[in-house]
Chain A
């Protein structure tokens, strides 16, 4: 079955600390992978995506993610977190020929000063 797992429901970090949000997927075909961020009461904003090529992708707001096929993972990282990064983060996987993304359950990030 196709699925996305985000093992960490809630993560708390101090401002300036590094961050890694985990994402594992189960998908029968070549996956297209995405990370989205959602601020409270808002829609989703695309942080970055992976379709092919370099397995380390750079996104907006200083985020990056690495696709590891052998581990079926697409973890999101940021070297130094800012207070404004506090939000809900969703990993998603989708097929090439449709836009029907499968979302993980999200990871809520709290940032302490």
Chain B
């Protein structure tokens, strides 16, 4: 089955530093990946859509300069939280879309990355 790996699973950093989170599709090519943010006991909030070889599409209210997304290959997308602050602490989840067409609109999610900014 389709597997999406996220790394690191948790990270603690100092305020002002940058943190990179990787999302890899292990056994399929993902032309599109999605990044979500989940606050405690809340639902997933879509941050951006990452398209291989092109710029990411950010949702309204998401700072593109704060959350840098790079989708350099068909199996890897990265999210970099720049100049992190305590309010950026959250659970970040990625998902990947494998195929297109009828019956293929199914996402595979990574296990998530918990970021704590001190």
Interface residues of A (CB under 8 A from B): 32, 34, 36, 41-46, 49, 51, 90, 94, 96, 99-101, 103-106, 108
Q: Is the CB of B43 within 8 A of A43?
A: no
Q: What are 12 of the A-B contact pairs (CB < 8 Å)?
A: A41-B114, A43-B6, A43-B111, A44-B44, A44-B93, A44-B109, A45-B109, A46-B106, A96-B105, A99-B95, A100-B34, A106-B41
Contacts A94-B105, A99-B97, A106-B43 given; does A43 touch B112 at CB 8 Å: yes
A103→B107 contact, CB < 8 A: no
Question: Which residues of B pack against A, CB within 8 Å?
Answer: 4, 6, 32, 34, 41-44, 46, 49, 91, 93, 95, 97, 102-103, 105-112, 114
B46 engages A100 (CB within 8 Å): yes
* Cβ–Cβ contact B109 & A99, under 8 A: no
A95 nearest in chain B by CB position: B105
**Within the assembled complex, what's the spacing in Å between the Cα atoms of A103 and B111?**
17
The contact of B42 among A34, A36, A96, A105, by CB within 8 Å, is A105
Q: Which residue of B lies closest to A10 (CB)?
A: B41
Known A-B contacts A51-B103, A104-B43; the reply to A43 vs B34 at CB < 8 A is: no
Contacts of A108 in B (CB 8 A): 41
- Minimal beta-carbon separation of B78 from chain A (angstroms): 17
